[in-house]
Structure formats: structure tokens, C-alpha cells
Amino acid sequence: MRARVGIISNHYLINDQYPAHANGSMNTDAVNDVSDCMALTFPADPRVTRIDELLDTFDGFLFTGGRPNVHPEEYGEVATEAHGAFDRDRDRVALPLIRAAVERGQPILGICRGFQEVAVAFGSTLHPEIRDLPGRMNHRMPPDGTLEEKFALRHDVRLAPGSAYAALFGGEVVRTNTLHGQGIKVAGPRVRIDGWAEDDTPEAISIAGAAGFALAVQWHPEANAADDPVSRPLFAAFGDACREWRAGGARRAA
């Protein structure tokens, strides 16, 4: 059996009425096609989801993007209109799960909101709206165009020399899409910023002292993951880490 990746869901209303837990098929495609792992979605609802059961069920976790933002109470600030919408259920599942997985050395990969969750889980604070800061660009999704145009590559990310990202991508500058509003304001003590956009917005992080794969990016590598030269090595490395965890778990159980 392939390694199993748990993909956190987002809350949706089907036809504006029927509540559902779901994630974009780009995420499951990337995990299946590039990571070569079994992709399984779990509810971001603490009423039905237990952290210990998730840790015992999955070999790694993908924390996806989503429209709602991490509630500023999670980093000691007061919510304002600029912070946008929230999903407190996802906060209550994602943040403790990230901390527990990193503590165990279990692989995690964060994307967009997932990047912000990893940052906040380890003590970071967030700007509510990057584009309102002097000298910053608009990182949000273009309002018009096809899906391909919305996920088009839009800016460079410079990578810290010697970082895990520079090693993965074989260089210190990569080009990515950008579809986010918030960003790191102050990095937590274990949050290592490994990549920056052209306006110095943090775009790639890792967790210092993590026993396993613990990376998160602010862009969306799941888009065109099989063919993009930046996305493919990231998801491939994540899959390798999940298989290593699964093999180690099998040895521990023997």
C-alpha cells in the first residue's frame, strides 16, 4: 500500500445550502500523481476529528489553501474587518495537528493558508492585508481570466543559500504564482524564512529543529504540479518523506 497523505478540508455550501467538507482536486492530483501517495481528505471539524487518530492513520499531512484566514486570536491580536473571514473549526484542527506532527517528525507540507497555519502554530503573527503595506505588491488572485490565468506565474522568489528549498529546486531563484492576501509579520522563534518575493514578503518557511519534513510555501504549487519545475520536486520530496515515515512506522510496529 502507498503512503497515505491526509489532506485537510475546507467548509463549503453546495448550492448555498448543503454543508460539505471538500478540497480542490488540484491537491489530490498533486499528491497522487507527483508525490505518488494515497490522497485522503479529512474534515476540518474538531467535533468529529481527533488529532491522535489522524496521526495514527496518516503518514503525512497536506495543509491546503482556503478563503478564510487564521483567526488573529491565535497569535494574540484582535480581529478587524481587514482580517476577512475565519474558519475557527479549521484553526482548532490544523494548529494542534501541525504542532503534533512536527513534534513526532511526521511530514507536513503547507500551502497558502496552510503556510500561515504553520507559521502561526509556531508563534508567528500575520499582516491582515499585504497589499496595504508600503512598497508591497498585490499578491491576491487576479479577479478576471481563466483558471490557468489566475494560477499563472507572476513573481520571482529568492531562496536562502543552503536552504532545503535551494537544494530541492537546484538554484536560489524560482518563479511562482501568487494568490494570497495575508503574510507573515513577525516570524516565530522556530520559523525559518527561507524564501522571499520581490517585495520581501516571506514566501517559503521551514521549522527549525523539526525531526522530519516540515515545509510550507505561500504560493500554490498544487497548480500544474506534474509539469511545473518548482512544484514537481517539492511534491516529490514530500512523497519521499511520507514513504520514509511509513517505513519507519512499520519497523516500529514489528
SS3 216: strand
Active site residue 112: yes
Residue 129 Cα distances to 10, 24, 139, 166, angstroms: 21, 24, 9, 28
Q: Phi and psi for 48 in degrees, rounded to 5? A: -120, -5
Smallest CA-to-CA distance from 169 within 88, 235, 245 is with 235
Which one from 129, 139, 220, 242 is the annotated catalytic residue?
A: 220
Residues 29, 74: contact at Cβ < 8 Å? no
H/E element, 173:
strand 173-176
Active site residue 37: no
Active site residue 222: yes
Within the chain, residue ranges assigned H as helices are 25-29, 51-57, 88-104, 113-121, 147-150, 164-169, 231-253
The separation between CA 185 and the C-alpha centre of its own chain, rounded to angstroms, equals 17
Which one from 117, 129, 203, 222 is the annotated catalytic residue?
A: 222
Residues 249, 59: contact at Cβ < 8 Å? yes
Q: Tell me the three cell numbers of residue 164.
A: 532545503
Q: Tell me the three cell numbers of residue 246.
A: 511509513
- What is the amino acid identity at position 235? F
Rounded distance between C-alpha atoms, residue 198 and residue 245, angstroms: 35
Which one from 112, 117, 127, 129 is the annotated catalytic residue?
A: 112
Residues 193, 187: contact at Cβ < 8 Å? yes
Q: Which residues are annotated as catalytic?
A: 112, 220, 222
